């Protein structure tokens, strides 16, 4: 089943409350995905600076524990790396090359998962009750511009933290998925030949990798999603976060649910209206069901 939510704040009215509203939405989706959860939060970031969210599953490292890894990465990047740890996750910040950092970590430290990289994004995920996951990684106190979150009922791969959503494979590009893809193995091979690297056997990670590849090739998010309609086979409702932007896509059959609500201040999407009903001023929102094969996107960029 799985539950997905996305909240994109068009104005700064609710930006200090982004985490609180996202946590409330996630809470409503527990029933659709009780086995694991994850969330990505975007803020405006710092120009020229990359953040990497890392996971050492089940090992609660202190910042000091992460230091040797950060020091090795500093040598590779020839740039300083700062460390902030939160339980088994850590956020590394650097002015060095984020994509190179991700690749080096994947190649040299297979016991560490690189959950996200980019200027704006931080990403947390874990197995367990979605409310506990939100609480453990402090979702409610976070501020920012947009957030994507997921509650998982695993079907295509095991119940593990790194099988949980969201998935990030490209800078600031994050995807959550309700559904299942049938051609992900073939597509994963094609994408690996084109330089994408994957950390799981999960079908949804392949969809994230596909978008990262298209965006890296110069597509806009709308162009990348248009191409995805032709290349991805299966059932899907996607909520997608990109740098300063948010998008939604459903497959042509559209049997996986989705509902969208929009006000002057925010756009929200979820698998069920119950998640949206928690949002401020919802009684004045325009509520609609996104149509199959139609790309919906919003951007803060001028």
Partner 1 sequence: MSESIFDLADVTVRELNQTLHANESGTFRVLNPRGAHAVAAGINSDVEVHIEGSVGYYCAGMHQRGTVRVHGNASTGLAENIMSGTVHITGSATMSAGATGHGGLLVIEGNAGSRCGISMKGVDIVVGGNVGHMSAFMGQAGNLVVLGDAGADLGDSLYEADIYVRGAVESLGSDCVEKELRPEDLETISRLLSAAGLAAEPTDFTRYGSARELYNFNVDDINAELAEGQS
Contact set with partner 1 (CB under 8 A): 28, 254-255, 257, 259, 272-278, 287-289, 291-292
3-state secondary structure of 61: coil
Separation of alpha carbons 32 and 22, rounded Å: 16
Q: Which is nearer to partner 1, 29 or 211 (CB)?
A: 29
Smallest distance from the beta carbon of 294 to partner 1, in angstroms?
Answer: 11
Is 255 annotated as catalytic?
no
Smallest distance from the beta carbon of 180 to partner 1, in angstroms?
Answer: 18
Q: Which is nearer to partner 1, 281 or 291 (CB)?
A: 291
Contact (Cβ atoms closer than 8 angstroms) between residue 295 and residue 242: no
Candidates 299, 179, 181, 301; CA nearest to 241 is: 299
Q: Which is nearer to partner 1, 140 or 277 (CB)?
A: 277
Smallest distance from the beta carbon of 9 to partner 1, in angstroms?
Answer: 21
Give the residue carrying structure tokens 């806009």. Answer: 220
For 56-210, strand residue ranges (E) read 81-86, 89-94, 113-118, 121-127, 146-152, 167-170, 173-181
3-state DSSP percent of the chain in helix, strand and coil, to 5: 30, 30, 35
Give the residue carrying structure tokens 């990289």. Answer: 117
Write down the catalytic residue from 1, 2, 20, 115.
2
Smallest distance from the beta carbon of 151 to partner 1, in angstroms?
Answer: 15
Q: Which is nearer to partner 1, 131 or 201 (CB)?
A: 131
**Would you please indicate which residues are annotated as catalytic (active-site) residues?**
2
């Amino acid at each position: 089943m799985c539950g997905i939510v996305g909240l994109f704040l068009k104005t700064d009215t609710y930006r200090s409350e982004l985490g609180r509203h996202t946590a409330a939405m996630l809470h409503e989706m527990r029933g659709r995905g009780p086995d694991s959860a994850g969330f990505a939060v975007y803020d405006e970031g710092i120009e020229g600076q990359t953040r990497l969210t890392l996971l050492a599953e089940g090992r609660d490292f202190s910042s000091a524990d992460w230091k040797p890894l950060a020091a090795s990465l500093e040598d590779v990047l020839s740039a300083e790396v700062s460390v902030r740890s939160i339980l088994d996750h850590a956020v590394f910040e650097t002015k060095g090359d984020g994509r190179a950092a991700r690749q080096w970590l994947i190649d040299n430290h297979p016991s560490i998962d690189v959950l996200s990289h980019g200027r704006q994004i931080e990403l947390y995920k874990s197995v367990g009750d979605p409310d506990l996951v939100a609480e453990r990684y402090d979702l409610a106190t976070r501020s920012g511009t947009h957030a994507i979150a997921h509650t998982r009922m695993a079907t295509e791969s095991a119940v593990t933290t790194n099988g949980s959503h969201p998935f990030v494979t490209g800078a600031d590009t994050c995807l959550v998925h309700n559904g299942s893809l049938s051609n992900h193995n073939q597509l994963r091979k094609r994408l690996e030949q084109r330089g994408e690297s994957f950390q799981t056997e999960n079908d949804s990670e392949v969809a994230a990798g596909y978008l990262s590849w298209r965006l890296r090739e110069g597509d806009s998010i709308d162009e990348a999603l248009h191409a995805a309609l032709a290349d991805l086979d299966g059932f899907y409702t996607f909520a997608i976060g990109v740098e300063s932007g948010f998008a939604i896509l459903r497959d042509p059959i559209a049997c996986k649910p989705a509902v969208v609500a929009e006000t002057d201040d925010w756009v929200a999407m979820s698998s069920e209206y119950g998640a949206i009903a928690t949002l401020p001023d919802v009684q004045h929102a325009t509520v609609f069901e996104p149509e199959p094969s139609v790309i919906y996107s919003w951007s803060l960029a001028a």
